[in-house]
């Protein structure tokens, strides 16, 4: 006897079948400079108490170049790689500079060129596919944790919003509550009801509004 499939089950199946439009790369244990505790930062190589205090005082960090200038510019390339293998601010694949890409441990000019070659990225799956032409799956997974593709505020799924560092269910609800957004100023105004300007700016770097 054939059973009827409930509408709820159909919805669940569709959500599983349809890939998300964009997302933040899976974090493999990297500390985020905007969220890590000062004690965690102080334990990292080449930072110490002074470097950790400088990171906390400079929050929110909105680009890796600024963070590098504050705590990494005086380090050797080997020391930078050791530090940034444990501390990183995800890079927006669609506007990151070559200089920032080259801060990713193990990435040279050839691979930086490939990162830029396939812009603009609409979803992280494109990055996996294109960079997977040059390196194996393990290396793609390693590189992915350093990057993100901006999320469309008007169409991103809840599970995509959940990949933003430090975002929980309550804030995801607020992101979705004010759809459709007609401009980023609306996002700043509405989300600014719940968090301060620094936190709005931290969220905003992961967002875009589709046209």
CATH number for the domain harbouring residue 193: 1.10.150
Kindly state whether residue 65 falls inside one of the protein's structural domains.
Answer: yes
Q: How many domains does one find in the chain?
A: 2
Q: Give the pLDDT confidence score for residue 211 in this predicted structure.
A: 63
Q: Which of 119, 126, 122, 156 is nearest to 144 (CA)?
A: 126
Residues 174, 76 share a domain: no
Same-domain status, 65 and 101? yes
Residues of the chain with pLDDT under 50: 1-21
What range does the domain containing 159 cover? 151-208
| Residue pLDDT, tens place only, 23-74 | 787 777 899 999 999 999 999 999 999 999 999 999 999 999 999 999 999 9
Q: 108-120 burial, b if ≥16 CB within 10 A, otherwise e?
A: eeebbebbeeeee
For residues 160 and 173, membership in a common domain is answered with: yes
Q: Residues 21, 160: contact at Cβ < 8 Å?
A: yes
Same domain, 80 and 121: yes
Looking at the fold, whether 139 and 163 belong to one and the same domain comes out as: no
User: Does residue 19 belong to any structural domain of this protein?
Assistant: no
Residue 10: predicted pLDDT: 35
pTM, full prediction: 0.87
Q: Is residue 59 part of a domain?
A: yes
Q: Is residue 24 part of a domain?
A: no
8 A C-beta contact, residue 145 and residue 27: yes
Give domain status of residue 123, yes or no. Answer: yes
Q: What is the pLDDT of residue 148?
A: 96
Q: Which pLDDT score, from 0 to 100, does residue 78 have?
A: 97
Q: Are residues 43 and 73 in the same domain?
A: yes
pLDDT of 131 reads: 98
């Amino acid at each position: 006897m054939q059973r009827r499939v409930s509408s709820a089950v159909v919805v669940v199946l569709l959500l599983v079948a349809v890939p998300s439009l964009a997302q933040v790369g899976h974090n493999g244990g990297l500390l985020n400079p905007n969220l890590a505790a000062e004690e965690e930062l102080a334990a990292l190589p080449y930072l110490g108490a002074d470097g950790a205090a400088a990171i906390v005082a400079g929050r929110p960090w909105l680009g890796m170049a600024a963070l590098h200038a504050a705590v990494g510019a005086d380090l050797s390339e080997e020391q930078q790689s050791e530090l940034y293998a444990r501390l990183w601010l995800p890079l927006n694949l669609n506007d990151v500079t070559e200089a920032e890409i080259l801060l990713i441990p193990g990435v040279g000019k050839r691979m930086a060129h490939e990162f830029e070659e396939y812009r603009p990225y609409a979803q992280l799956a494109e990055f996996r596919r294109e960079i997977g032409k040059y390196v194996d799956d393990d290396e793609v997974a390693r590189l992915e944790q350093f990057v993100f593709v901006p999320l469309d505020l008007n169409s991103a799924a809840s599970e995509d919003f959940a990949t933003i560092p430090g975002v929980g269910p309550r804030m995801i609800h607020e992101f979705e509550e004010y759809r459709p957004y007609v401009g980023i100023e609306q996002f700043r105004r509405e989300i600014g009801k719940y968090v301060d300007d620094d936190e709005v700016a931290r969220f905003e770097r992961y967002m875009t509004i589709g046209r």
